[in-house]
Chains A and B, each alone.
Chain A
């Protein structure tokens, strides 16, 4: 998993889905994960008011996402799950 860049988390370089306690879902390329932050690049966000998360995620799994943020750091305490987008069947 990942490209094993020195000093980076094993998910570095992998497109991941980050679930949060706030119900936002983030899809982006993982730059790093540490005890404080999950840092993503080229990130799209799904918020509860955007509609069905499952449909959004299914389309993301099939085709990818249109990035809204070049770089985004998410407070690790808000993060409930991190998994590769490629593991989700489109």
Chain B
């Protein structure tokens, strides 16, 4: 496991733009229990191959007028219990991190797996998210 000191700036990148960090299974269940409206869950990660573009991509996307009403994040490889519980809400999708799940009225409507972030820049990641926000959050 990486040092908390190393990981903190990666957590702060999301909490600083309004994400609620979920660190226990109970917190995940409570957050998921609120079904009404739209919600974005980001599975954060240290992985430099993709996470370095995922977080800035999310930040850019959230500047869009259409955006999810609720934002939360779990940190893969750091908060194992919370991450496992979060993945349980979309258990038929192979686990990957970073990844992003958009819910509408409690139903998963859009998912960005790690391989759709790798090798792309933040703007490209944001473009995909904006398109999903326009479709489901407008």
Q: Is the CB of B114 within 8 A of A15?
A: yes
- State A52–B58 Cα separation when bound (angstroms): 35
B residues in contact with A48, CB < 8 Å: none
Q: Is the CB of A63 within 8 A of B119?
A: no
- In the complex with contacts A2-B49, A3-B48, A3-B49, A63-B120 CB distance below 8 A: no
Contact partner, A1, options B111, B113, B119, Cβ 8 Å: B119
- State A63–B96 Cα separation when bound (angstroms): 9
Give the secondary structure class of A's interface. loop
A residues in contact with B48, CB < 8 Å: 3, 13
B residues in contact with A2, CB < 8 Å: 49, 119
A residues in contact with B117, CB < 8 Å: 86
How many A-B contacts if CB must be within 8 Å? 44
Q: Is the CB of B94 within 8 A of A63?
A: yes
Q: Is the CB of A64 within 8 A of B118?
A: no
A residues in contact with B50, CB < 8 Å: 13
Interface size class of A (residues with CB under 8 A): 10 to 19
- State A65–B96 Cα separation when bound (angstroms): 9
Q: Is the CB of B119 within 8 A of A64?
A: no
Contact partner, A14, options B93, B111, B119, Cβ 8 Å: B119
Nearest Cβ on chain B to A80's Cβ, whole angstroms = 20
- In the complex with contacts A3-B48, A3-B49, A63-B111, A84-B94 CB distance below 8 A: no
Which of the listed residues B48, B111, B115 has the most CB atoms from chain A within 10 Å of its own CB?
B115
